[in-house]
A = this chain, B = another copy of it.
Amino acid sequence: MKAAIIGGTGYGAIELIRLIHQHPYLEVGSVVSNSQAGNNFSESYPHLSGLTDQPLGKFDPETIAENHDIVFLATPSGVSSKLVPQLMETGIKCVDLSGDFRLRSSEQYETWYRRRPANHEYIQQAVYGLSEIYPEQIKTAALIANPGCYPTAATLGLIPILTTNQADLASIIIDAKSGVSGAGRGLSLTSHYAEINENLKAYKLGSHQHIPEIEQVLSDESGTPITISFTTHLVPMTRGIMCTMYLTLNESISTKEVVDLYTNFYKNKSFVRIRPEGNIPATKEVHGSNYCDIGLHVDSRTNRLTVISVIDNLVKGAAGQAIQNANLMFGWDERSGLNQLPIYP
């Protein structure tokens, strides 16, 4: 089967190409970049010289639909909302990596993204692609709203405890940390090497656009409207996200019991690994892979649960989960193309 990739010069597109290159059933049919159409791929990315080199194409929904079986949109929020409807009309399956189809509420989108929302009809068709939680809906979806990087790490780490009645739902605090590749390839002083190296920086306090996305998922899964505290930090490394999350427990339970709960919750899920008691994952331990590793600790002094969830922001937080969703959509093993071990060190 053939995949088209739109937004071909960003880090999301590059990672899709890397992963599809190893996919047993999928190959890259074409890569579209309006801004660099006509150029060869390896001019922007010499690491692909002589490998999957091909000229970048222009966006043309009909040609794409004729020659491909699925489209991955690695375009920014605000662009996907314009392209997806044109693609959907041709009947081709779409996986959108932007934030444009994730929020069911257009008001929320306008508030947090400060931009006009996508057409509501398409938002309604979109299935939120958190692969471990919504596999059945994903299998039959025509349009996947692929989750954000922070929401993936945060929600996978919180959902199991929220489905019990053991945690105070008003107590959730998410202290999130990300490598710099999450900010993309666009130039900015906050991605400028000398400003970021040897530096740790908090940003967008109380205003990050992933807040309503996380709240939507957690509210759905707990059945109760949830409001979170969410702080994001930029860490001097390229890849990796860690969410350190705090919840007050309603009753006294042990770390061992929480580990058992999580292990059981994810027992058939290939890409979520629950660490045993006393073992907390580090971001490097999932580098380059589609795993989400989760560590758990109950502090009996404060009766709070700490959940630590790590992913590679470009894999499970973007391109990897997109392919996992495509695998589900085509009825393949969800691990197809994603069975690489983490690269260590």
List residues of A whose CB falls within 8 A of some B CB. Answer: 11, 14, 17-18, 21-22, 45-52, 173, 175, 177, 179-181, 183, 185, 187-189, 191-203, 205-206, 227-229, 231, 233, 235-240, 242, 244, 246, 273, 275, 279-288, 293, 295, 297, 299, 301-302, 304, 306, 308, 310, 339-345
Contacts and interface: CB of A to CB of B under 8 A. Distances in A.
B344 A45 contact: yes
Contacts of A235: 200, 235-236
Given A202-B308, A235-B236, A280-B202, A173 B246 contact: yes
Contacts of A193: 180, 191-193, 196-197, 236, 238
A198 B288 contact: no
A345 to B, nearest CB: 4
The 9 A-B residue pairs whose C-beta atoms are closest, nearest first, are A199-B284, A47-B285, A201-B282, A175-B175, A194-B345, A187-B187, A47-B342, A205-B297, A180-B193
A283 B200 contact: yes
A342 B295 CA distance: 30
Contacts of A189: 185, 187
B202 A17 contact: no
A238 B302 contact: no
Contacts of A287: 47, 198
B192 A192 contact: yes
Nearest to A239: B198
28 contacts: A14-B344, A18-B342, A22-B339, A46-B275, A46-B279, A47-B285, A48-B341, A48-B342, A49-B273, A49-B293, A50-B273, A173-B173, A180-B194, A185-B192, A185-B195, A187-B187, A187-B188, A187-B192, A191-B194, A197-B238, A199-B283, A201-B284, A206-B306, A229-B304, A231-B306, A235-B236, A236-B237, A288-B343
A195 B345 contact: yes
A205 B341 contact: no
A295 B240 contact: no
A287 B179 CA distance: 18
Contacts of A283: 199-201
Given A46-B285, A175-B244, A187-B187, 14 more contacts: A11-B194, A18-B341, A18-B343, A22-B22, A49-B285, A52-B341, A175-B231, A179-B198, A192-B193, A194-B238, A198-B237, A227-B302, A288-B343, A340-B340
